[in-house]
Structure 1
């Protein structure tokens, strides 16, 4: 049976898996700490030595990379790994199909194959137009954004970008205070400054400042405090986080009418599913003045799959092999 070697490579961890061609659930998933390997090739070799499939049965290698992949030398921001496409091809063999995807490109390619039961509807609308464009976004270490354009034949087109770095807009006095607080530190404040792990910490610190306090907690500490219910600033922070997420989501919908839906992945939102359901996320998304009726019908989903990036790599690997 033909297989693909797939990997989701971040600054901290590298997730490797195998998948039979034309199947999409990753198998034999292993998570390696990047700092324990001097190069990507050492980590990849360590995985191949462990996996149950003979390397001769692997016909495609698809890597999802947290960063731009259209550079001659692909570098990682949080570890010293770097390589070229040619080095990847030579390492795995000239007979192998190779693809390098941005990490949110990979999530975009997963939309065709994620089971419906792994998509949690947020709001009243769930009907999608499968022929229409969709957005994927996700907050984690940073804020990733990509637009997916369905194709009748072949892989969907995923339009990558750096949408997480658009200017942050505010709509009330509390948000104005958060923006002023962060502007004093960063000068320019992007959406990622509030929609990321660091962003949760920034919101908390800004709200504390608004209440005359100097206090900053880590994102996990804020989450635990909110779950305990003993820190009103932590609860207010998560509420404001999801409000900002709604505002940015609505702006994306105004930019591209995504009747195919908006799909929220990343490490943060699925962890706080109950909070986003109770939050003002949809109200903020739809708070677009004269354009409210344009935005309101667009469905939004939280991607609950454990490995959507790997599933997208698996889907793309099937296209690579089938078109040969």
Structure 2
């Protein structure tokens, strides 16, 4: 049986797996902390040494990478790994189809193979046009964004970019105060400065500052405080996070009329499904003045699949092998 080796390489963790060609469910998934390995190749060698399929049976290698992939030397946005395509091809051996995708390219490619039970709709139900463009966006170590354009034949065209680094807009006094606080530290405040693990920490610190407190919690500490329910600043932080997410999503919808929907992945939002449903996310998304009626019909979903990036890599690997 023909297989692909697939990996979703983020700023914090590298997720490796195998997938049989024409089967999009990743198998033998291992999540390896990036900090434990000096390079991608050290992590890959560790995985290959323990997987059940011999490399001779691997026909494709598809890597999803947290950073731009159209560079001579591929560097990650949030860790120190780097490599070239030639080094990847040499490491895995000749005769294998190789594809290097942006991490949110991979999420975009997973949409056609996700089951309905792997999507949770936010807001009132609205119609999805499967032939229309859609957005995928997700906050984790950083903020990933990609636009997906379905095709009648072959894989979707995924338009990658670094949309997480767009300028952050504000719409009320509290948001103005948060951005002013962060501007003193960073000068320019991008969306990723508030929509990421670091972003949760930044929002918390800024809200504490408004109360005269000098206090910053790590993202795991904020998560623990939310679980306990004993920290009003943590609760307000998560709410503001969702409002900022709604504002950014609405801006992307204005840029491309995404009647195919907006799909929210990443490591943060799926943990807080009930909270985002009760939050001001949709109101903020639709808060576009005279363009509200343009944005309001666009459906939004949280991707609840555990490994959407790996599923997208598996789908793209199947395309590579079948077209060969």
TM-score (norm 1): 0.96
CA–CA distance in 2 between the matches of 1:65 and 1:111?
18
- The residue that corresponds to 1:46 in the other structure is 46
Corresponding residue for residue 177 of structure 1: 177
Map 1:111-260 → 2, pairs under 5 A:
111-260=111-260
Contact 2:11-2:141 within 8 A present in 1 as well: no
Q: Deviations over 1:156-205 (max 9, x none)?
A: 11111111111111111111111111111111111111111111111111
Q: Write the distance in 2 (CA, Å) between the matches of 1:36 and 1:212.
A: 38
What is the DSSP-based 3-state SS (H/G/I as helix, E as strand, rest coil) of the residue aligned with 1:100? strand
Counterpart-to-counterpart distance in 1, 2:42 and 2:210: 49
Q: Deviations over 1:103-162 (max 9, x none)?
A: 111111111111110101001024211100000001111111110011111111111111
- Higher mean alpha-carbon deviation, 248-257 vs 41-50, is at 41-50
Query: Structure 2 regions of 5+ residues with no counterpart?
Result: none
Is 2:284 the partner of 1:284?
yes
Q: In terms of mean alpha carbon deviation, does 298-307 or 202-211 score higher?
A: 202-211
Deviation at 1:79, TM superposition (A): 4.3
Query: 1:125·1:298 contact (CA, 8 Å) conserved in 2?
Result: no
Q: Secondary structure at the match of 1:111?
A: helix
SS of the equivalent of 2:267 reads coil
Partner of 1:100: 100
Gapped runs of 5+ residues in structure 1?
none
Q: 2-side partners of 1:92 and 1:275: how far apart?
A: 43
- The whole-number CA distance in structure 2 between the counterparts of 1:274 and 1:246 is 16
Aligned residues: 324
| Structure 2 counterpart SS, 1:240 | helix
8 Å CA contact 2:68–2:162 kept in 1: the answer is no
Question: 3-state DSSP class of the match of 2:113?
Answer: coil
1:2 match: 2
Q: Which residue of 2 aligns with 1:294?
A: 294
Is contact 1:21-1:318 (8 Å) kept?
yes
Q: Which residue of 2 aligns with 1:75?
A: 75
CA shift for structure 1 position 78: 4.7
Question: Are the structure 2 counterparts of residues 140 and 213 from structure 1 closer, same or farther at C-alpha, using a change threshold of 3 Å?
Answer: same
Contact 1:28–1:51 (8 Å) recurs in 2: yes
1:125/1:297 contact within 8 Å kept: no
Question: Structure 2 matches for 1:84-99, cutoff 5 A?
Answer: 84-99=84-99
Match in the other structure for 1:306: 306
Asked if the contact 1:17–1:28 (Cα under 8 Å) also holds between the matched residues in 2, the reply is yes
The answer (yes or no) to whether the contact 1:119–1:303 under 8 Å persists in 2 is yes
CA drift of 1:232 comes to: 1.3
Task: State the TM-score, normalizing by the size of structure 2.
Answer: 0.96
Deviations 1:71-125 (A, max 9, x none): 1111235544322111211222221110011111111111111111010100102
Q: Indicate conservation of the 8 Å contact 2:11/2:142, yes or no.
A: no
Task: Give the C-alpha shift of residue 227 in structure 1.
Answer: 2.8
Q: CA RMSD in A?
A: 1.3
Cα separation, 1, equivalents of 2:36 and 2:216: 31
